[in-house]
Amino acid sequence: MSVRTFIAAELDISPYNVRKNRRAITSTEGLEASILRVGLILPLAVHPMKGSKKHGVFDGGRRFRAIRSLIARGELPADWPIDASVRTIASEAELLEISSAAGLLHVDLLPWEVMEGLQRASKRGASVEEIAEVTGQTEIWVRQHLRLAELAEPIFKAYVDGDITQDQAKAFAATEEHKLQLSAWEAFRQMPSWQQTSDKIRQLLKVGDREEEQLLRFVGEEAFRDAGGAFELDLFADAAEHRGRVDQPGLLRMLAESKLEAARATLRRRTGRTDLRFAAEYPRARHGGVDRDLELVPDCEPFSAAEADRAAFLDDELVELAHRRDRTEDPVEQAAIDLEVQAHAAELQRLQDSRAILLPEGETHATLVIDESGALETRWWWDTHRAKRAAEKPEDPRAVSAGQIAKPTNDLGGRAVGATIGNTYQQRADAEAKAEHGFTQEGVQIVRAIRREILRAALIEDGATDIAHDFLIWQLLRGELGNHDSVQLGARGLARADDSPPMVMIGAVRRAVEATPAHSNWTTTLGLLRAHPSVQDRDAVAAFRAFLDETREWKEWAAAVVAAVSLSRTANLDGYRIPVHDLLAERIGLADDEALRAHWGPSEEFLELLPRAKRIELATPFVDDATRRNLDTMKAGDTITPVTRALARVCWVHPALQFQKAPAPAVAELEAAE
């Protein structure tokens, strides 16, 4: 291959040029303007034509047509020089194969020659967009090659000479700072060859530094920029990878420490302890690892009714906004949603920060740890085992249970049921649900909502209304007079349903619930009750009279509906498990999978909530070996349908929807009853 200069009269379009799209061939106005302004960026590719003195253009035909049009209009002289690389082709088949390739940039020039050509065009004033149009490449491709062309001179020369690979050159080009490139280059040259990897080069440049990127997510890119810092993205990172370099790590650490100190001040205020101590690391156990026995989970001062309503509303709004943002590609709408999210999140944080943290008496401290996502995790610990023992009161004597063995004391029970998003209990419960079953936070909400719908549908069935009536009266009586934790009742106050405005379920949860037989039964019953004069009549006296005139059976049925409305959303997941619901399910006949399947069945939408590995694990007991092996070879999305079919054929219910056997009464209670 050689590069020569031709004039237009010495060239023609090769009969083997594969471009046949007439619109693409004739639409050369943009190319003409670019050639007039910055010249021919890269040479054409030509070959000698048999039976002619001319050379045929087999790659770069549009550029050649643009040049001929400019000459024809007199905007370029007839002898305007045209650079072209000349290839000697052994056969027509080879020529067609080359012309069918991605283009000149793949077959005619060495990569570094392409880079230099792009650099010359850029220096003559061509924009990235123009170069992309002329070369038929993407803008990011052009930016990457310009960055490589602008490498510090010793590094670019090493690349041209073949002393470093293109991947190594890309690693050096992760920053445009020549001073940093040369510093890394000197260190790179001193390394043994086996250490001279692309990852090592990026490490020398501190590109993709995990700790710094973590701090950046914690501080926020916008706040860092406002303070005078910058984050230089690595042009060669994968599209999904947000890899880059922090230009002022010292400034970033200062901003992070300032934000941490503000968090410490907030926690000291909320605990009422000005001397509250903070540790940088979790306490270590003697055998290694975190000493979880020292961890404590303090209670918070409860919200007022108005604050609780507002916090719950903000939680739902944030989830709905996240779904709206996922569904739109309009950058203007995305920006507007982001502003709403920021406002709601800030208000929710202010509400949380207004609650007092009720630490036990004794020597305790907190840890503030920035996780991978940049979120700040707050955890509480006893200083020592001695401090923990000194603060703990002697346990009350407990009767020996005749039922199941008690769960470990660190079981969350149902503490996450009434917790707002971001609450420590809720975070821990959702993390455990993900670890055990693979559920996302949304998946947990779907499971809880479906399980409640199943309970509701079962409560209003014939034969269960007397239990529902007892449950309604009991939970109201205990809630009003008993001074007990209302969460453990498995029901809410009746002032507002948590699936009524402003607490309407988010779309994904609502759709999952609506797909169940339980929902159909429940909504049919609600429709019948809403149409009754006791509900519909605008005259309260007449409405109450209509209620009084009904039969005892009808009143039991109405009470069952009210009891069902009051139910909390629970799940057979640590943090969302309410034993009262287990007993209720047992009494109304929901204790086995067959009864549950009358109200719910496995669907593709439900199985999509689970990761691929969990789906296959659940299906394995119900499929033959051949099907099992086939599942292992499938992509994640392709496993949904066969797994759903396998589980639908048998009496299977997901463990998170099941109810446990209610604990048996203690021995002392049994004796008292005799």
pLDDT of residue 184 exceeding 90: yes
pLDDT of residue 666 exceeding 60: no
pLDDT of residue 115 exceeding 90: no
- Phi, psi (degrees; rounded to nearest 5) at 453: -65, -35
- Provide the CATH topology of domain 2-105: 3.90.1530
| pLDDT at site 137 | 78
Provide the mean pLDDT of the chain.
81
Model confidence at 106, pLDDT cuts 50, 70, 90, reads very low
Site of tokens 């057979």: 572
367 beta partners: 279, 379
CA–CA distance, 523 with 525 (Å, rounded to integer): 5
| pLDDT at site 98 | 52
Of 377, 381, 353, 354, residue with least CA distance to 277: 381
**Cα–Cα–Cα angle for 341, 347, 348, rounded to 5 degrees:** 85
Longest dimension (CA), the chain: 116
CA–CA distance, 35 with 42 (Å, rounded to integer): 11
Average pLDDT in the 73-92 region? 84
Of 601, 603, 611, residue with least CA distance to 641: 603
The 3-class secondary structure across 426-453, one letter per residue, is HHHHHHHHHHHHCCCHHHHHHHHHHHHH
- Domain boundaries along the sequence of the chain: 2-105, 119-126+135-251, 266-391, 426-601+651-657
Average pLDDT in the 107-124 region? 69
| pLDDT at site 181 | 92
Tell me if the bond preceding 502 is cis, omega within 30° of 0. yes
pLDDT of residue 21 exceeding 50: no
The percentage of residues in the chain with a pLDDT greater than 90, rounded to a whole number, is 23
Q: Among 180-189, 256-265, 329-338, 415-424, whose mean pLDDT is lowest? A: 415-424
| pLDDT at site 420 | 63
| pLDDT at site 79 | 94
| pLDDT at site 278 | 95
Residues 616 and 643 sit within 8 Å (Cβ to Cβ): yes
Q: What is the pLDDT of residues 527-544, one digit of tens each?
A: 888 888 888 888 888 877
Of residues 433 and 658, the one with the higher pLDDT is 658
**What tokens were used for 596?**
């549950």
| pLDDT at site 423 | 67
- Phi, psi (degrees; rounded to nearest 5) at 56: -95, 135
| pLDDT at site 664 | 67
Q: Are strands 295-296 and 277-279 parallel, antiparallel or unpaired?
A: unpaired
CA–CA distance, 179 with 187 (Å, rounded to integer): 13
Average pLDDT in the 441-450 region? 86
| pLDDT at site 501 | 40
| pLDDT at site 422 | 61
Q: What is the pLDDT of residues 448-486, one digit of tens each?
A: 888 888 888 888 876 676 777 777 776 766 655 544 555
Of 450, 477, 486, residue with least CA distance to 597: 450
Average pLDDT in the 561-566 region? 82
| pLDDT at site 413 | 65
Q: What is the pLDDT of residues 189-213, one digit of tens each?
A: 999 988 899 999 999 998 888 889 8
CA–CA distance, 648 with 597 (Å, rounded to integer): 10
| pLDDT at site 381 | 92
Q: What is the pLDDT of residues 324-334, one digit of tens each?
A: 888 888 889 99
- Sequence-distant (6+) residues with CB within 8 A of 198 are 167, 168, 170, 171
For residue 264, give the H/E element and its range. helix 249-271
Q: What is the pLDDT of residues 484-538, one digit of tens each?
A: 555 555 555 554 444 544 344 567 788 888 888 888 888 888 888 888 888 888 8
| pLDDT at site 224 | 93
**What tokens were used for 277?**
């101590």
Model confidence at 399, pLDDT cuts 50, 70, 90, reads very low
| pLDDT at site 125 | 77
Q: Among 108-112, 417-421, 634-638, whose mean pLDDT is lowest? A: 108-112
Q: Which amino acid is at 186?
A: E
Residues 158 and 75 sit within 8 Å (Cβ to Cβ): no
Buried b (16+ CB within 10 A) or exposed e, 617-635: ebbeebbeeeeeeebeebe
